[in-house]
Amino acid sequence: MANLAVELTGLRFPNPILAGAGPSTEGAAALAAAARGGAGGLVARTVLAHPFLPAAEPSVVPYGRDGLLTNQRGSSLTAADWTYPQDLSIPVIASLAGTAAEVLELGPRLVASGAQALEFATAFLGWPESVEALQALRKAVNVPIWAKLSLRHGEDIADRAAQIEPFVDAFVCMSGFGPVLDIDVDAGGAPRLSDPYGYGWLSGAPIHPIAVRTVFEVARRVNKPVIASGGAMTARDVVEFLQVGAVAVQVTTLPMLKGPQAYEALTNDLNGWLDQHGYDSVADITNLYLNKWRHGQRVVLITEEAPKLDKALCTGCTICGLVCYWDAITAKPKALPIINADNCFECGLCVSACPEGALSFRPRTEVTLLP
Ligand SMILES: Cc1cc2nc3c(=O)[nH]c(=O)nc-3n(C[C@H](O)[C@H](O)[C@H](O)COP(=O)(O)O)c2cc1C
Ligand code: SF4
Ligand code: SF4
């Protein structure tokens, strides 16, 4: 059993899988269920000066594999409805959003209601307003402040992080991606969500690589801890977040799709991964990628000169021949493809496209850094 505990902004979490803000952390019963389900810490749903009231349904719809689209915007409970439980033996963090004037009132109130730290969600406001609100919040409370960043403020997320670094203790990367638009074409062109234009925010597996990039960008830039959020569905996703610079990983879509027991299942899978790979603790894998690649060295991934064919797996489907735009593969139905190494560009497309996994390059463990 690996040591899974992490320390973050003075709080100790028994494992790095935290419950992210959403319906799965809305109110005392949901928080208790997430704690029972094995979450290492809880970020309660975002409290607003004006609680979110959906005008119509639906406000959450599925998207692709393990993805969700939502137009929900924070908690439907008022600040007065919230108390943050102290008896769950894991840290409980309150989430809030609002203008400087609003958070001056909300922040101290949520701390008085038991929050051990505050997560400020920047996605709810424009950028200058978010900076002003964080400045105000810093003066108003003594507990750690986590700033949850959103790509809605532009691609230069690391610049934004650097700008607010003086006022916050940690960063959360990232909120749902959006706004996005996905419509029901079979209904003659109808919105799928109850937003006026059908807009929503994408979460879960489809946004994972975007979130990994934002964690890496921000971790490269700031000297404060980064907490990942975005499509962590498997132990591999969690390991990836930790390797690029996250200290802990929030999950929201996962427990929404699988229920609160998903926290413990993911933690067990993470533990299994660490054991299998011979690591004693999460600290052993944290920053492995960040430390090697933060300066973006020039890299050559060494592969074979041309892909290798496993004749036993090939069904002669000809797809590799169709996708090779360099004329390096001659493929005829029901026959083994002929690979002409002289023409091969080593692009890897045929390896990706082969439905049988019959083509491969040497694993990319041999990496050469160019000066
Ligand atoms: C239905 C739904 C409601 C959400 N509500 C909130 C919220 O109130 N506050 C917040 O900061 N993030 C909210 N989020 C965003 C998640 O906390 C998380 O940052 C995002 O979904 C990406 O992580 P995931 O892929 O693990 O879900 C919500 C996400 C979903 C799907
Ligand atoms: S690696 Fe690229 S160029 Fe080489 S055979 Fe495959 S598709 Fe063609
Ligand atoms: S795509 Fe794969 S299975 Fe199909 S012909 Fe090429 S090697 Fe064989």
> For the chain, what are the domain ranges?
6-293, 298-370
Model pTM score: 0.92
The binding-site residues of ligand 1, defined as CB within 6 angstroms of any ligand atom, are: 20-23, 45-46, 60, 68, 70, 72, 74, 95, 121, 148, 175-176, 203-204, 207, 229-232, 251-254
Average pLDDT, rounded, for the chain: 94
Rg (CA), the chain: 23
Per-residue pLDDT of the chain (371 residues; tens, 9 = 90+): 899 999 999 999 999 999 999 999 999 999 999 999 999 999 999 999 999 886 678 899 999 999 999 999 899 999 999 999 999 999 999 999 999 999 999 999 999 999 999 999 999 999 999 999 999 999 999 999 999 999 998 879 999 999 999 999 999 999 999 999 999 999 999 999 988 899 999 999 999 999 999 999 999 999 999 999 999 999 999 999 999 999 999 999 999 999 999 999 999 999 999 999 999 999 999 999 999 889 887 766 666 678 999 999 999 999 999 999 999 999 999 999 999 999 998 888 999 999 999 999 866 555 666 55
Q: Residue 49 in contact with residue 102, Cβ under 8 Å? A: yes
Residue minimizing CA distance to atom 10 of ligand 1: 21
Instruction: Quick: pLDDT tens for 251-278.
Output: 999 999 999 999 999 999 999 999 999 9
Residue minimizing CA distance to atom 24 of ligand 1: 230
For the domain made up of 298-370, give the CATH fold.
Answer: Alpha-Beta Plaits (3.30.70)
CA-to-CA dists, residue 308 to 82, 97, 165, 334, 342, angstroms: 60, 54, 49, 18, 14
* Residue 19 bridge partners (DSSP): 42, 251
Question: Which class for 129: exposed (0-12), middle (13-18), buried (19 or more C-beta within 10 A)?
Answer: middle
Closest atom of ligand 2 relative to the 345 alpha carbon: 3
Q: Which of these CATH numbers, 3.20.20.70, 3.40.50.720, 3.20.20.150, 1.10.287.130, describes 6-293?
A: 3.20.20.70
CA distance 32 to 38: 10
Which residue, chain included where needed, has tokens 């002669």? 316
Instruction: Quick: pLDDT tens for 181-190.
Output: 999 999 999 9
Residue 317 Cα to ligand 3 midpoint, Å, equals 5
Determine whether the shortest distance from the Cβ of 337 to ligand 3 is under 6 A.
Answer: yes
